[in-house]
Structure 1
Amino acid sequence: MLSAMNITFLGTASAQPSSTRNHSALALRLGGDVWLFDCGEATQHQIQRSHVKMGKIEKIFITHTHGDHIFGILALMASRLNGAGGMIEEGDDTRAAEAADKEPLEIYGPLGTRAYIRNGLTYTYTNLGAPYVVHELRFPADPPDGDFTSLPLHPSELPTGQNIAQSDGIWPNIFENELISVSAAPLRHSVPCVGYVVAEAPVPGKMDPTQYVPHLKRTGTPMSAMARLQQGGSMELPDGTVLHGPARRPGRKVAILGDTYDAAAIAALAQGADVVVHEATNAHLPGIDPHTKADDTYEGVKARARSRGHSTPQVAGAFAARVGARRLLLNHFSARYAGNDDVDEEAKTIMEAIKALAQQEFHGDVVCTRDLMSIDIELRP
């Protein structure tokens, strides 16, 4: 079981940043490790302002290759992997040789992620002090082996990057270990886009000591046996009594969506999520948002957002309700919605109105996120 699960929002803006919102990025802390989801411009600056530790970043998941979601990745990689500028003389690549024994930074994203990183590092003459590997999630229409580049591997790029094909319309278990798994599904946007679902493995059930301690004391069984029972095991006591540990309970599940106007394809994976992170780029706020046009309607705002591949708070709320989520975290806000609602009354009023729109469709907890907001994800009772 993971000791802790936490989301820190490093950027909550859409398209263009503002003085109160940075480009898209969030950090998911899983125990002692950190995984990034998207990496917009200046993400590494945001990390320096947060409690996220750069050296703990083990994986990066890119939802799509629009610049506001990926322009920060090269700079972050240079910092995270001890990068340096300059030319590498043929036969004298000592940095790459030293890096070979280090664990690679793993990067996942749609077609184009690998080419963007390889070209960017190569043409900026960036040398890295540790390796990286890129796994691409391929859509059915993508070339199975194409990379959008004829450049050779960067000296720090491992050749083990996979091209992962869909299975029944999704990408199941693109990463999995004994504690956590990641699956992905396509989202409808203006370009190929991916949403990710991070699922914790089942965790030990809650122990009621009164069901066990008297039996252990009566038979002289060491109290250390409680640890085995906590894991759901069974044991026979010296007098023949058999004790059964509590049934394991579901672990936590987090659905992190990229830009989308329709996330239906990921609904099955996200079912029962503890947290859904969903964009809410545009909202209709007459009488609240001074930028609202006199002839605007909700349907008009929704249609404009959809035409650009984006959602309203109501669309986000409807998705969270559909999958039975416990909590909805809204992000990717238009630049017209300031992210300083913790100190500015007008911004607070607008964010409360956006929250209320989402709650028209979803009756669970809704949070309008702002940059550097950090939210713990607790196990269900």
Structure 2
Amino acid sequence: MAKPTPPLQQSQPVHSALSAVNITFLGTASAQPSSTRNHSSLALRLGGDVWLFDCGEATQHQVQRSTVKMGRIEKIFITHTHGDHIFGLLPLLAGRLNGAGGMVDEADETRTVDAANKQPLEIYGPLGTRAYVRSGLAYTHTLLGSPYVVHELRLPTDPPGASTALPPHACELPGRDIPLSDGVWRDILAAPAPSVSVSAAPLAHSVPCVGYVVSEAPVPGKIDAQAYVPHLRRTGTPLSAMRILQQGGCVELPDGTVLQGPARRPGRKIAVLGDTYDPAPIAALAQGADVLVHEATNAHLPGVDPDTKDAETYETLRARSMSRGHSTPQMAGTFARRVGAKKLLLNHFSARYAGNDDVDADARRIMEAIRDQAQGEFGGEVICARDFMSIDVPLPNT
């Protein structure tokens, strides 16, 4: 009989890979929405769960128009509290948590929330996120049918104990104030998942802003069945022992031979940055990212964009973008090269850049030029996002 034993490195358990990881852009505009781009929001699908990054105006409508399932949204990560990144949060909360308006006679409201037995929807964001949610729900008299919690990522310059003068909403559970440590917020999830962690870092913008890095735990390596099956058959060991080997464990055969499963390989890493003119503080966390999502608000496109002013140069446009806290495609490409990203996804485009480049030739020329500018600095694959674009993130081949 086979003598299966636990994995050799019991202190570093092997986790199965997520069944699927997908990024769907729900909004790719900056500042003003347009007929082809909604305000900022991105859905990250991890297996069956959905995590949103930013929640600009009309995100709830975008979810309804997409393949993203509202009921699957478990966490929302806000990068900063500018309106184009947060104005859609309250409507989405009401939709996700079975919200309703106040009753004529509040005593007639019979719905109760058993918060202790319901998993709350988790919201993460910088200082002000909790106050915004609490005030918005209070002054719109919004009732909810399920609990939520807001965790704030605090900077050393934030006032101690700062929150809001309003009392918590009836469905609000106590959230954490997470301090910056060594320049980053590491492993911020309140209830860490066995296969995914999230860390964050401050970004240079016109207001406090956060970038997030989602990291999958190491997963089982690729297994060559022909390296193991002959040994199992030779010793009469049930082929079910392959399950242990596939997870990186070891199996001792009746003749004393020990078979060791393949070494683990890195899981996926996805970096989602908020608005920024300098993302250097997140560089170490984002190193080697399989996907880097970076803004590219403004571009200098003489001969391509008819709105380009004759007196404008790349240098003057770059300086103007940075003064407003934003990046150009070249800046995004430079940072992607710095961190060794495998793929760069550009978003948060000025309203002057239409998002229907899949059907409009003029829009296509502009977006291709923006892509080429980033690619010239990066050297790797660059994709300019448009609303409802959906991109799978496969496991690395290594």
Deviation sequence 1:298-345 (CA, Å, 0-9, x none)? 111100000000000000001110110000000000000000000000
Partner of 2:234: 218
Partner of 2:290: 274
- TM-score, length of structure 1 as denominator length: 0.98
Deviation sequence 1:235-271 (CA, Å, 0-9, x none)? 1100111101000000000000000000000000000
- Residue 371 of structure 1 pairs with residue 387 of structure 2: yes
Please report how far the alpha carbon of residue 92 of structure 1 lies from its aligned counterpart in structure 2 after TM superposition: 6.9
Check the 8 A contact 1:100/1:130 in 2, yes or no.
Answer: no
Distance 1:128 1:247 in 2: 47
Partner of 1:168: 182
Shifted more, 356-365 versus 99-108: the winner is 99-108
For residue 28 of structure 2, the aligned residue among 12, 19, 29 is 12
Match of 1:47, SS state, is helix
Distance 1:78 1:100 in 2: 20
For residue 168 of structure 2, the aligned residue among 142, 148, 153 is 153
Check the 8 A contact 1:85/1:125 in 2, yes or no.
Answer: yes
Partner of 2:247: 231
Q: Number of aligned residue pairs: give it.
A: 379
Alignment of 1:1-381 (within 5 A): 1-87=17-103, 94-98=110-114, 100-147=116-163, 149-159=164-174, 161-175=175-189, 176-381=192-397
Deviation sequence 1:259-308 (CA, Å, 0-9, x none)? 00000000000000000000000000000000100011011110000000
- The 1:358/1:109 distance shift into structure 2, 3 A limit, reads same
Please report how far the alpha carbon of residue 352 of structure 1 lies from its aligned counterpart in structure 2 after TM superposition: 0.3
Please report how far the alpha carbon of residue 87 of structure 1 lies from its aligned counterpart in structure 2 after TM superposition: 4.3
Distance 2:160 2:29 in 1: 33
Distance 1:361 1:113 in 2: 35
Please report how far the alpha carbon of residue 91 of structure 1 lies from its aligned counterpart in structure 2 after TM superposition: 7.2
Match of 2:186, SS state, is strand
Distance 2:60 2:89 in 1: 9
Which one-letter code corresponds to 2:181 in the other structure?
S
Distance 1:116 1:6 in 2: 29
RMSD across aligned C-alpha pairs, in angstroms?
1.2
Match of 1:171, SS state, is coil
- TM-score, length of structure 2 as denominator length: 0.94
Q: Which runs of 5+ in 2 are unaligned?
A: 1-16
Deviation sequence 1:181-214 (CA, Å, 0-9, x none)? 0000000000000000000000000001111000
Check the 8 A contact 1:27/1:34 in 2, yes or no.
Answer: yes
Deviation sequence 1:146-205 (CA, Å, 0-9, x none)? 10x21111001012x000001101000001321000000000000000000000000000
Which one-letter code corresponds to 2:38 in the other structure?
N
Please report how far the alpha carbon of residue 95 of structure 1 lies from its aligned counterpart in structure 2 after TM superposition: 2.7
Please report how far the alpha carbon of residue 143 of structure 1 lies from its aligned counterpart in structure 2 after TM superposition: 1.7
Please report how far the alpha carbon of residue 96 of structure 1 lies from its aligned counterpart in structure 2 after TM superposition: 3.8
Distance 2:201 2:89 in 1: 22
Check the 8 A contact 2:103/2:109 in 1, yes or no.
Answer: no
Distance 1:326 1:146 in 2: 39
Match of 1:34, SS state, is strand
Distance 2:322 2:103 in 1: 46
Match of 2:230, SS state, is helix
Check the 8 A contact 1:274/1:327 in 2, yes or no.
Answer: yes
Partner of 2:9: none
Please report how far the alpha carbon of residue 84 of structure 1 lies from its aligned counterpart in structure 2 after TM superposition: 0.5
Check the 8 A contact 1:133/1:157 in 2, yes or no.
Answer: yes
Distance 2:267 2:388 in 1: 25
Using the aligned pairs only, state the percent identity: 74
Structure with bigger RCO (C-alpha 8 Å, 6+ apart): 2
Distance 1:264 1:36 in 2: 23
Match of 1:360, SS state, is helix
Check the 8 A contact 1:195/1:257 in 2, yes or no.
Answer: yes
Distance 1:170 1:11 in 2: 27
Distance 1:270 1:88 in 2: 51
Match of 2:377, SS state, is coil
Check the 8 A contact 2:113/2:146 in 1, yes or no.
Answer: no
